Amino acid sequence: GQNRVIIVSGNTGCGKSTQVPQYIFEKNKKGKILITQPRRIAAISIAKRLSYEMNSKLGDLIGYQVSMISHFSIDTKILVKTTGVFLEELLHNSLDYDYILLDEVHERDLYVDLVLASLKNYFKEFPESKVKLILMSATIAEKEFADYLKDVNLGRDVPIIEVKEDIMIKNN
């Protein structure tokens, strides 16, 4: 809809890391989705989990990039990266994504803070950008992020969507 930024909050383990990208992909098969994870192991395991759940060979539809290791192709639509790798990319390239899902933002490491600051600048510089930003957080700090990103959302309040364990059940 009209929002540039959305916050999805839910307890760790509620499946938001794998359900949200699949939900977006179902709605927009052509869109390119980036997911960031603070840690390498998490990035790789989420990519593996997604490719398993979406019935696709890892490196095709779903890929990942962590420090020196990358495993994706030109067909990749869902790319999982560590926050550090994405920050590096953000400083050097334009954003080639339709959706950016910053996962585990409540961990507030330096990379997350720098990525958020860089994205804020990016949206200021490119107000017509179509990129949608989705922050995924445990249910603690979402209000703080919502306030911080209000101007990115063109002055509108950033919606916060609560995910309970059983809402996003996958239809088999």
pLDDT tens per residue, range 47-89: 999 999 999 999 999 999 998 899 999 999 999 999 999 999 9
Q: Distance between CA atoms of 161 and 169, rounded to whole angstroms?
A: 16
The predicted model scores a pTM of 0.89
Q: pLDDT tens, 84-119?
A: 999 999 988 778 899 999 998 888 788 999 999 999
Residues forming a β-bridge with 66? 69
CA end-to-end distance (rounded Å), the chain: 27
Contacts of 61 (CB under 8 A, 6+ apart): 51, 54, 75, 76, 77, 78
